[in-house]
Amino acid sequence: MSRSLEGRAIVITGAARGIGRECAVRFAREGADLALFDIGEDLVGVGYPLGAREQLAHTAELCEADGAAVVTAAVDVRDPTGVPAAVGAALERFGAIDGLVNNAGIAAPAGVAVHEMSEADWALMLDVDLSGAWRMIKAVAPGMVERRSGSIVNVSSTAGLVGYRHFSGYVAAKHGLIGLTKAAALDYAPHRVRVNALCPGSVRDDPLVEGRMLVEIARSLKLPDEEYEQVFLRDQPMNALVEPGDVASAALWLTGDGSCRVTGTVLTVDAGFTSR
């Protein structure tokens, strides 16, 4: 039985846990070889632990168990030299990069009104969640253009479509990521390189992938740990939180041949949240 990504090499950022891990495992099952990137350390200004090297190694083990060839790198997407170096190592291993899932991102610093954000907090949010994706595209696109083939998936958010109180930096970055997606899609369409955005809603923190984004957003909003899922659930027209696998399925479709004429689009996986 054929697998939809057989023989392709895909780069996934933020791959240590959560949506990134779910995408990596799903892509491995579909035959992809993988370059898995995550920061591997915490950042000053982000009030929760980021993906650890041990978690990234575990993601790699899960993918290798499904037959994928895997390379990993501890990469800070803010680093203008580290990003191309990591991409270069992936190219040396696999010969080409067929897809990129720009998933690396942070949900904090947040929890304050616009005028209460510091210069440093504002800059950090945009540098990771928006400029980091731009740096990754800058590193992988030349090879895709040369080969006239490739798919880039930028993981934005419903925060890229609507506003959220006390999350101005995150909202601005995710809106910007959708703008970057549309501009890049037009730049690369003549070269048959596709660029799309994926907007998840409230994604359940599945312990199997060590997800924790939703709980950190809840803490920024000062919601009780024992109640936050129910609070988010009230806003879901389908009366269900999004599962990491729902997002991975959408990313897989956008990466594969089933979406070969889809570019510059925004695919929302939010249980109907933005339809209200």
Q: Contact at 8 Å (CB) between 271 and 240?
A: yes
DSSP state of 130: I
Q: Which residues pair with 195 in a beta bridge?
A: 152
Q: How many helices (H) and strands (E) does the chain have?
A: 9, 7
Tokens (6 digits) for 22: 């779910």
Please give the torsion angle defined by the CA atoms of residues 219, 223, 224 and 225, in that order, rounded to the nearest 10 degrees: -40
Based on the residue annotation, tell me whether 228 is a catalytic residue of this protein.
Answer: no
Choosing from 48, 164, 170, 188, the catalytic residue is: 170
The residue behind tokens 């994706």 is 133
Please, is 96 exposed, middle or buried when counting C-beta atoms within 10 Å of its C-beta (0-12, 13-18, 19+)?
middle
Helices (H), the chain: 18-29, 53-65, 82-94, 119-126, 132-147, 168-188, 213-220, 228-233, 244-255
Residue 88: how many CB atoms within 10 A of its CB? Answer: 11
- The identity of residue 221, as a single letter, is L
Helices (H), 31-95: 53-65, 82-94
Which residues carry out catalysis? 170
